[in-house]
Amino acid sequence: MNFQLTEEHLMIQKAAREFAQNELKPGVIERDNAMAYPTEGVKRMGELGFLGMMVSPEYGGGGMDTISYVLAMEEISKVDNSCSVIMSVNNSLVCWGLETFGNKEQKDKYLKKLASGEMIGAFCLSEPEAGSDATQQRTTAILDGDHYVINGTKNWITNGKMAGIYLVIAHTDRDKGHRGINCFIVEADTPGVTTGVKEDKLGIRSSDTCSVMFSDVKVPIANRIGEDGFGFKFAMKTLSGGRIGIASQALGIASGAFELATAYSKEREAFGRPISHHQAIAFKLADMATEIEAARLLCLKAAYEKDHGLPYDQSSAMAKVFASETAMKVSTEAVQVHGGYGFVKEYHVERLMRDAKITQIYEGTSEIQRIVISRSLLK
Ligand code: CAA
């Protein structure tokens, strides 16, 4: 066993850290306040290769491993989680899903653009009445000659307005249960596709989250991913990797909040010395650092298993549930270390606390992760 990162990993980590600190940090508070989409940040993520990190070079990607992705996600999530969720969805749910399960024509047509950031993608699984219980899809895709006709509404879609393509999960035959679900590539400008208003959210406020509606949307059979009936498994397999991305986002929130709290505790004095010299604060920092380290190891283990062709459903769920709960706990404690200053926007840490909450909800709630883990343990 080797806990050391390679030279290449360290370079990627450094590049992501410099990008986040130098290019994303300026303006992040204003973007969050205004719910302004990080147009320049997303463009730069594309140019720097962060939107298609694991895509093979044949399709214009970085050909990197999942460990590199975890490291980059952590650094970017220390600063701007609206950018990191856009990055995570594009990398793990859209590019990975398409590269792993799409056919050559589908990859040739879309993957290069997605990997370079020329186009970003969205993953449309959640519905108004099908969130955690994902087999209960109401969206239908009915076969009609050489195409399917899609009708339905998808909720909470990251990249909803900005996406060039949607991966849409829909029922093609309700009688077959989850085996009657398929996934389709739908181009955003297809007639019948509309989007709702941008959601006014607690955290990740700049990211583009909205409903996407499909009304008699005609999609060629060639746009179905995989064999007929593969859609639910496609979603589950893709989400297992997505959960490593969100776990890394949570890890970044926790380590970002910890860095802010540590720096502040060394500067701020109370009762004649820096507050870091008071055991009440020093022990908080010790607990925060310990939990962050545990979260990091879980993320890296899940990434290692994915990179080595080992099963990773359980480890990605463990990483996500632990890292997201750590993000919530550590960011709340980091606000506490800052006292009143932690409660104002200027100090960044309150934003990280707000951003932390969503990591316990999207790509499977903490409760769903515990279902995945317990089923895997007890099977
Ligand atoms: N890999 C492959 N197949 C899988 C699988 C996996 N990881 N998990 C389940 N399956 C298969 C099962 O084997 C089963 O197939 P068979 O009957 O052929 O054996 C089939 O899928 C159904 O599985 P279950 O019976 O376990 O299904 P279930 O109804 O009990 O649900 C669940 C399982 C894990 C709870 C699932 O519904 C789930 O993950 N729900 C959460 C959904 C979710 O994460 N949504 C997030 C939305 S996306 C998002 O947030 C993106 C964004 O924009 C940020």
- Ligand 1 in reach of 178 Cβ (< 6 A): yes
- The tens digit of pLDDT for each residue in 324-336 reads 999 999 999 999 9
Ligand 1 nearest-atom number relative to CA 237: 1
Q: What is the pLDDT of residue 211?
A: 98
Same structural domain for residues 211 and 254? no
Ligand 1 center from residue 189 Cα (angstroms): 29
Give a yes or no: residue 372 inside a domain: yes
- Reduce the DSSP state of residue 188 to 3 states and report it: coil
CA distances from 147 to 103, 214, 216, 348, 366 (A): 17, 15, 11, 49, 38
Strand 269-270 and strand 273-274: pairing?
Answer: antiparallel
Classify residue 22: in a domain, yes or no: yes
Its pTM surpasses 0.75: yes
Residue in 269, 301, 287, 377 with CA at minimum distance from that of residue 329: 287
How close is the Cα of 193 to the center of ligand 1, in Å? 26
Least confident of 68-72, 128-132, 199-203, 323-327: 128-132
Shared-domain flag, residues 238 and 373: yes
Question: Within a domain: residue 154?
Answer: yes
> Residue 176: what pLDDT?
96
**Catalytic annotation, pick one of 75, 325, 333, 363:** 363
Q: What is the pLDDT of residues 177-196, one digit of tens each?
A: 999 999 999 999 999 999 99
Answer yes or no: is pLDDT of 284 > 90. yes
Mean pLDDT of the chain: 97
- CA of 229 relative to ligand 1 center, distance in Å: 14
Asked whether residue 196 is assigned to any structural domain, the reply reads: yes
pLDDT band at 95 (very low <50, low <70, confident <90, very high): very high
What's the rounded mean pLDDT across residues 294-320?
Answer: 98
User: Is residue 372 within 6 Å of ligand 1 at its C-beta?
Assistant: yes
In this structure, the answer to whether residues 207 and 93 fall within a common structural domain is no
Domain final position from 177, 211, 232: 232
Q: Is the pLDDT assigned to residue 154 strictly greater than 90?
A: yes
- pLDDT, residue 277, reads 98
pLDDT of residue 225: 98
- For 145-240, strand residue ranges (E) read 147-158, 165-171, 181-187, 193-195, 209-220
Same domain, 129 and 175: yes
- Both 80 and 145 in a single domain? no
Task: Please tell me the total count of domains within the chain.
Answer: 3
304 found inside a domain: yes
The enclosing domain of 70 has a CATH number of: 1.10.540.10
Other beta carbons within 10 angstroms of residue 209's beta carbon come to 25
What are the Cα distances from residue 65, in Å, to 34, 50, 117? 35, 12, 19
Q: What is the CATH number of the domain that holds 170?
A: 2.40.110.10
Q: Is the CB of 316 under 6 A from ligand 1?
A: no
Regarding the beta carbon of 132 and ligand 1, being less than 6 Å apart is answered yes
What are the strands, taking DSSP E only, across 255-367?
Answer: 269-270, 273-274
Same domain for 101 and 136: no
Same domain, 228 and 264: no
The question of whether 129 is a catalytic residue gets the answer: no
Identify the band that residue 247 occupies on the pLDDT scale cut at 50, 70 and 90: very high
Residue 2's pLDDT is: 87
Distance 196 CA to ligand 1 centre (A): 26
Residue nearest to atom 15 of ligand 1 (CA): 233
pLDDT surpasses 90 at 121? yes
**150 confidence band (pLDDT: 50, 70, 90):** very high
By three-state DSSP, how is residue 156 classified? strand
Domain extent for 357: 233-378
User: Is 193 found in the same domain as 135?
Assistant: yes
Task: Specify the CATH number for the domain of residue 329.
Answer: 1.20.140.10
Nearest alpha carbon, ligand 1 atom 9: 236
pLDDT of residue 281: 98
Gap between the Cα atoms of 51 and 71, Å rounded: 14
Pocket test for ligand 1, best of 233, 313, 365 (most atoms within 8 A of CB): 233
* 188 and 318 housed in the same domain: no
275 with 217, same domain: the answer is no
Q: End of a domain among 102, 120, 138? A: 120
pLDDT (tens digit per residue) in 45-59 = 999 999 999 999 999
Atom of ligand 1 nearest to the CA of 93: 51
Looking at the domain assignment, is residue 2 inside a domain?
A: no
Judge whether 242 lies within some domain: yes
Residue with CA at minimum distance from ligand 1 atom 18? 179
Task: Determine, yes or no, domain membership for 1.
Answer: no
Task: For residues 56 and 34, give the distance between their C-alpha atoms in angstroms, rounded to a whole number.
Answer: 36
> Same domain, yes or no, for 217 and 89?
no
Say if CB 322 and CB 250 are below 8 A apart.
no
Q: Could you tell me the distance, in angstroms and rounded to a whole number, from the CA of residue 237 to the centre of ligand 1?
A: 8
- Residue 334's pLDDT is what? 98
Of 232, 252, 285, the last residue of a domain is 232
Q: Residue 206: pLDDT above 90? A: yes
Same domain, residue pair 318 and 362? yes
pLDDT of 314 > 90? The answer is yes
Among protein residues, the one with the nearest Cα to ligand 1's atom 11 is 233
**69 within ligand 1 shell (Cβ under 6 A):** no
Q: How far is the CA of 180 from the centre of ligand 1 (A)?
A: 14
Q: What is the predicted pLDDT for the residue at 1?
A: 83
Place of tokens 């066993």: 1
